[in-house]
Structure 1
Amino acid sequence: MVHPQVLTLNDISYEYPSSSTPLFEHISVTFPSGWTAVLGDNGIGKTTLMQIVIGHVKPDSGSIAPKPGSLISAYCPQRTDEAPENLEDFAVDWSPETLRIRETLGIGDDWAYRYDSLSGGEAKRLQLACALSLRPDLLILDEPTNHVDEPTRLAIAEALRSFSGIGIVVSHDVDLIEAACSRCVVFERRHMKGRNVTAILEFAGGYADMTAQVERRDHAASDAAVSANKEANRLRHIRAERFQQVQKADAIKRHGERIDARDHDARERRIGAKALSLDANPARQYAQLGGRLAAADERAASIATAAKRYDGQIWFDIESSHRRELVHLPAGVIYYGSDAVIAEPDSGHYMALARLRVVSQGTGSMPAGSAAINPAATASQSTLSQPVLSQEPEDTLGAADSPRVGVAIPVLSVGPRDHIGITGPNGGGKTTIVNAVLRSLGGWNDKSVEQIDQNDQANSGGEMPYLMIAQNTTDDDAQRALAQLLELPGEVKSQVLSSYAQLNANPDRLAAGTSPSPGELRKLLLCLGIAQHPQLIIMDEPTNHLDLHSKQALAAALQAYSGALMVVSHERWFLRQVASTLWEVG
């Protein structure tokens, strides 16, 4: 297939119908053949621009060449609850090209027939496989490595490298960008002329090259702004002196004074005033300085510098629980599809069980706003350039002919201040374990789960407030969260919006009633939840959909949380920051 060589966007502007300010204005950018990474903060407009590119959203102004609809286009969305439109066609497509796609991504033969039962990582792989099977001219992937483990990241990187058309990947996965992308397009909020504006900047190279270029540009812009402001302040000071001289000369000229011949000081003042009036002409110099100062202020204001990021602590006015134990799961087996712990499982299932082990680790001491990821180090250590593994993630847990039926656990306990990370491959049982934890929180007297210590049970003091944020969210979740925010009392609403801002988000968009993006929604759900003072927070893949700065802000916030925390994640650096103990499924 002969693919087009370049996609061009010229002078694109767009404003949400419910908004009073544009999302972006006068955006121009090109996407040549090969993979281009699109990066930027949550809610800045990346997904909306991709929707404009494929023709699902019409811009307010500007043009696209080739026009939307004239190319064979495929779009892989962020959320995994959106089944691919060509899922049925893919299910019966056994052409050699599609077979290679199935093998590269490890797609099971029955996956297309049971999409609703797939794990997040499996659904993401199937979404990508369906998109690639269309043999598109233009392929857009929106956060393709959300929900996935390391083997799946390997498979996705291999699939991207095999595509020869125009590829656009909206992602903050440093390893993926370094492995597959030769260009980066960055959405940025730049501060210019007293306000923040959205700009798009294009950079050659992968993530490490882009960040180095951004640092050099920001440093140069900062130096230029300091120099321009210093010159404007110098001129402002000189102009103030000239103004005093003008006033002094005018006062002498208007009022005059009879001077005693013996008053030498007064005679000198008059001579000086005449010199100012006749020779220096302070009035003319004062007027000239006004023009120079206006030009200097304009130069200083026109220098675009990086917009300020929030680096404060999130609002956590929360006390930890007085209970000695918040969660207790007995040793046993949790079968997939169930949330009950079975103390004496079927012995025939022994070889078909994933297993959980508890590992202690020291949490980091990352201050708010500091870099949690070293892009250059991450790129150099990336494993995505290695040959892709063809087996499914579940096969890494044991014999390939023993499909997993559940996960075996030791006694698991969560104390009032424990910070626990849960990690492991897709399909291993992480969500199954979380479901068992939630079941235990639903009632201390549930007889299908072994009881906790009788003293703790007697002193439990009623229900414990906890917050659970699931892996997947929907548009309905966004609307409910926004409605809940707008109905809060003024003081609580201000606290929630302040916390939201500290997570690298724009509270003005929420206050205006704009529906949050998936990444913004996760931040909003957390901020709404902590307003209820939970003593336990459970988050399933909390970094999904978040930009890098937001991940860093979230890690700093959760690290400071004084209650109990359980976090499911594939991102080891994030778990090192927020968790002191790991529950590893393997």
Structure 2
Amino acid sequence: MQLNLSNIEYTYPTAADPALRGVSATFPQGWTGIVGDNGGGKTTLTLVACGILRPDSGSVSPSLLSLYCPQDATEPPQNLEDFALAYDGHATRLRRDLGIEDDWPWRYGTLSGGQQKRLQVACALWAAPDVLAVDEPTNHVDASTRHAISSALARFGGIGLLVSHDRELLDALCTQCLFVAGGIATMRPGGYTQAEGQASLERASAVHAREVARREKARIEREAIRRREEASRSAGKRSLKGVGKHDSDARCKKRIAVVSGQDGKAGRLSSRMEAKLATAEARLAATHVEKRYDADVWLDAAPSRRRVLLRMEPQTLALGDATLSVPALHIGNTDHIGLVGDNGTGKTTLIKQVVGRLPDGTRTLYIPQEPSEADKRAALATLSDLPDVRRGRALSIVAQLNSEPERILEGDTISPGEMRKLMLALGILDRPELIVMDEPTNHLDLGSTVALERMLAAYPAALLLVSHDAKLVAAATGITWRISGAGDEFCLLVR
């Protein structure tokens, strides 16, 4: 069993450009990752594959039972009540594996986001469709929920389409990845790490091919100019103008050149060079190189002169009815620290304690998990008031984080992910001694996540990063603060 998309075209009614352009792909049993930048057409392609959107042209075959599991889990699944009343072996195993309690379906609106997502995935798997598409199933969930969802999805036996920016999940589940960009799709084998490695090789090859085409075009341009000049001189030479009426020898030589065809040789060579030049220009224009930024943005950043930015004595923090035991902590001027743990264990509370206890004068950039409306207005106002040079520097950093500066300048349409990029870019201008970021990859596509990972890993001063993205934490930090425990008692361990 497999699902085939053939030459799919789709344009939204109010859009000027198509969302999908001639997309063809084959989806076998097992999981296929659907990856790419925000706005590239991933969700549109998934909706077409599931039959929710009808393409303008092209075909989806054969006709299979499909189910789409949206990113937003706040709306109860259609089969929620049926699943709640089912006690067959499949339903029982799903409840056990996903940690679903019997009363959850009856109080869906009071569940946490992670609990709703577990129940949404359980209902989708219990329906046993031929084709199951899940959109960002691990967004905003903690490590235990991510593991439970991954394990449950791994047992799905049909055709799975996984739209995700979770590299760990893509690597664990997928045997191939469909890269979607600008409405065009390219299938590559393996999980995300393997497929992106192939994409990187292709980008490097395209860069080389473009440079070769550019040099060839420049060479042909120089030769074409020389041929034009030669043809012009030749045309002047064969003209009888200026030759005396009685100079029979000169007139005879020019007529012989006309008869022999030698007088038009330079012109014909010039025409051929013009044709070669047109071919070279077409080849250069057709050599597409995907835009990626690899520059180092920390050229003027440096660690604090103080070797230790913060020392904290052991303490116990109140978390409502629960407590978090914290040992003695310190942050060195070049320490990169990853704070990890499940939702509700006190990570954000600890972060606020750290920021609040930093010595006066410590240049600190703190970017919260969900910037408030006041934060957004302040960031946009700051950008607007910057001198041209500093504004250009900030927007250059935004571009290196895989966003279009034009969208940032529009202001009203800026997304939460783009706002965090802007806040980081503005903060970098002040050369912070410590950057603190709480769940920075929420709402970010994979390209942006990889760009952020590269940028934070190279940061020369101190970093405190809260994230559920294990690969980001592993790449950008060297010290781990892990919160563990259960019930109403949690503790922080330093590794």
- In the aligned structure 2, how far is the partner of 1:291 from the partner of 1:412? 71
Amino acid of the structure 2 residue aligned with 1:210: A
TM-score (norm 1): 0.65
Provide the residue aligned with 2:289 in structure 1.
306
- In the aligned structure 2, how far is the partner of 1:437 from the partner of 1:477? 20
1:219 Cα deviation after fit: 5.8
Greater shift in the superposed pair: 322-331 or 122-131: 322-331
- In the aligned structure 2, how far is the partner of 1:182 from the partner of 1:319? 42
Pick from 523, 535, 541 the counterpart of residue 439 of structure 2: 541
Instruction: Classify 1:514/1:198 alpha carbon distance in 2 versus 1 (closer, same or farther; 3 Å).
Output: farther
- In the aligned structure 2, how far is the partner of 1:333 from the partner of 1:327? 18
Q: Alpha carbon RMSD of aligned pairs, Å?
A: 4.5
SS in 1 for 2:153: helix
Amino acid of the structure 2 residue aligned with 1:578: A
Provide the residue aligned with 1:421 in structure 2.
338
Amino acid of the structure 2 residue aligned with 1:101: L
CA contact (8 A) 2:83 2:126 kept: no
Is the aligned partner of 1:8 residue 2:5? yes
Q: Which runs of 5+ in 2 are unaligned?
A: 485-495
Is the aligned partner of 1:281 residue 2:275? no
Instruction: Classify 1:581/1:248 alpha carbon distance in 2 versus 1 (closer, same or farther; 3 Å).
Output: same
**Which of the pair has the greater relative contact order for Cα pairs under 8 Å at 6+ separation?**
1
SS in 2 for 1:306: coil
- In the aligned structure 1, how far is the partner of 2:475 from the partner of 2:286? 39
Pick from 63, 74, 80 the counterpart of residue 68 of structure 2: 74
Instruction: Classify 1:162/1:582 alpha carbon distance in 2 versus 1 (closer, same or farther; 3 Å).
Output: closer
Instruction: Classify 1:337/1:16 alpha carbon distance in 2 versus 1 (closer, same or farther; 3 Å).
Output: farther
1:203 Cα deviation after fit: 3.2
- In the aligned structure 2, how far is the partner of 1:45 from the partner of 1:477? 31
1:40 Cα deviation after fit: 1.5
- In the aligned structure 2, how far is the partner of 1:16 from the partner of 1:494? 35
Instruction: Classify 1:232/1:184 alpha carbon distance in 2 versus 1 (closer, same or farther; 3 Å).
Output: same
CA contact (8 A) 1:334 1:433 kept: no
Is the aligned partner of 1:44 residue 2:40? yes
SS in 2 for 1:163: coil
CA contact (8 A) 1:482 1:515 kept: no
Provide the residue aligned with 1:202 in structure 2.
187
CA contact (8 A) 2:224 2:274 kept: yes
Amino acid of the structure 1 residue aligned with 2:294: D
Provide the residue aligned with 1:333 in structure 2.
316
Is the aligned partner of 1:166 residue 2:155? no
CA contact (8 A) 1:313 1:502 kept: no
SS in 1 for 2:421: helix
Amino acid of the structure 2 residue aligned with 1:506: E
- In the aligned structure 2, how far is the partner of 1:528 from the partner of 1:183? 38
Greater shift in the superposed pair: 324-333 or 557-566: 324-333
Provide the residue aligned with 1:236 in structure 2.
221
Provide the residue aligned with 2:489 in structure 1.
none
1:328 Cα deviation after fit: 5.6
Is the aligned partner of 1:95 residue 2:87? yes
- In the aligned structure 1, how far is the partner of 2:163 from the partner of 2:206? 27
- In the aligned structure 1, how far is the partner of 2:394 from the partner of 2:208? 36
CA contact (8 A) 1:76 1:127 kept: no
Amino acid of the structure 1 residue aligned with 2:483: V
CA contact (8 A) 1:74 1:134 kept: no
1:500 Cα deviation after fit: 0.9
1:310 Cα deviation after fit: 1.2
Is the aligned partner of 1:505 residue 2:419? no
Q: Which runs of 5+ in 1 are unaligned?
A: 189-196, 262-266, 339-404, 445-451
Deviations 1:438-480 (A, max 9, x none): 15645x6xxxxxxx9xxx6xxx36x97642321x689x89986
CA contact (8 A) 2:364 2:436 kept: no
Provide the residue aligned with 1:136 in structure 2.
129
Instruction: Classify 1:217/1:437 alpha carbon distance in 2 versus 1 (closer, same or farther; 3 Å).
Output: closer
Is the aligned partner of 1:469 residue 2:374? no
- In the aligned structure 2, how far is the partner of 1:33 from the partner of 1:101? 21
CA contact (8 A) 2:9 2:18 kept: no
1:173 Cα deviation after fit: 3.9
SS in 1 for 2:170: helix
Is the aligned partner of 1:585 residue 2:483? yes
Provide the residue aligned with 1:187 in structure 2.
180
> Percent same amino acid at aligned positions?
33
Deviations 1:219-239 (A, max 9, x none): 665565455555544543443
- In the aligned structure 2, how far is the partner of 1:323 from the partner of 1:115? 49
Deviations 1:294-337 (A, max 9, x none): 2333234223x332311223478778778887666542333443
Amino acid of the structure 1 residue aligned with 2:98: L
Provide the residue aligned with 2:327 in structure 1.
410
Instruction: Classify 1:414/1:138 alpha carbon distance in 2 versus 1 (closer, same or farther; 3 Å).
Output: same
- In the aligned structure 2, how far is the partner of 1:433 from the partner of 1:509? 32
TM-score (norm 2): 0.75
Deviations 1:269-289 (A, max 9, x none): x99x95997366211232233
1:503 Cα deviation after fit: 0.9
Instruction: Count the aligned residue pairs.
Output: 472
Instruction: Classify 1:580/1:484 alpha carbon distance in 2 versus 1 (closer, same or farther; 3 Å).
Output: same
Provide the residue aligned with 1:34 in structure 2.
30
- In the aligned structure 2, how far is the partner of 1:517 from the partner of 1:63? 32
1:132 Cα deviation after fit: 2.3
Amino acid of the structure 2 residue aligned with 1:95: Y
Instruction: Classify 1:539/1:94 alpha carbon distance in 2 versus 1 (closer, same or farther; 3 Å).
Output: farther
1:185 Cα deviation after fit: 0.9
Instruction: Classify 1:116/1:329 alpha carbon distance in 2 versus 1 (closer, same or farther; 3 Å).
Output: farther
